[in-house]
Amino acid sequence: MDYKLKRQLIFGSGFIFVLVLLLAVAYQSFKPQVSCTDGVRNQGEQKVDCGGPCAACKETRLRDVEVLSHNLLKADSVYDAVAQVRNPNPAHGARSLVYVFHFYDEKKNMIGERSGSVYLLAGQTRYIVESNIALSQQAAFEAFSITGTVAWEIQERLTGQAALPVFSKKFEKISPPGIGFAKVTGTVENQTQYTFSAVDVQVVLVDKNQQPIAAGRTQINNLRFGESRALTVLFPSEIPLPVDVYAEAVTNVFDDSNIR
């Protein structure tokens, strides 16, 4: 090998070595130091910057679901049942809240039940509606309960009541009666930055004492961000004229496939 070329290779290799060494020293000098205040879960921490070598993590005390009301509604030969629940936890929700309605006769004998599950968002108050419940005999009253343990989890987006207001709610009888006795119409507006594959709408009609007299539900599919969509909920059985109409639109933000 030519002496001049050999000397250039030696000097070049030495220069690269010194450069790499200097870069390594600079990185070690300026890289963020692992600590209990670096905002990163590392060094065996239980959560970010707490537990393990850091101070103990504060326990988040989660409160139970509050059952605000529950009612049994007669609809011709079948029944509807409606309950209203509230999640008092401002940052945690549940992707599956399991519930059951039990139905009893005048002698307090259980004559049937209807169970199901719904999602419950952080800080949310919502209705649970079960329709077309057929029982073997006349029901005198019902009982509603949350079953099992609620698996709370931190809700990353859309905490509280989701921005899906219902406008222009209107109750009207269908004349002449055909597909139903009455209907409620309105408009759901998606005021979020997301598009939802499914938006659930519950409608509850109340009398002058704010007691439910009828309830129904429907679903709106593929509601785009910023979009307004008409809704219609039919009531097949004859009911008294309601004093007020409550309508709420909710969507499952724990289901990634529901959000685009």
Output the six-digit token pair for 84. 């209203």
Which pLDDT band, with edges at 50, 70 and 90, does 105 fall under? very high
CATH 2.60.40.3230 in the chain is located at 66-154
Query: What's the 3-state SS for 205-231?
Result: EECCCCCEEEEEEEEEEEECCCCEEEE
Provide the mean pLDDT of the chain.
89
Nearest-angstrom CA–CA distance, 251 and 142: 27
Report CA-CA distances (Å) from 35 to 24, 25, 52, 53, 237. 21, 20, 12, 9, 66
Report CA-CA distances (Å) from 57 to 42, 50, 63. 14, 5, 19
Question: What would the mean pLDDT of 33-37 be, rounded to a whole number?
Answer: 79
pTM of the predicted protein model: 0.76
Nearest-angstrom CA–CA distance, 232 and 244: 16
Q: Please, what CATH class does the domain formed by 166-258 belong to?
A: mainly beta
Q: Per residue in 180-212, pLDDT tens? A: 899 999 999 999 999 999 999 999 999 999 999
Does 1 have pLDDT greater than 60? Answer: no
Q: Considering the domain 66-154 in this protein, what is its CATH number?
A: 2.60.40.3230
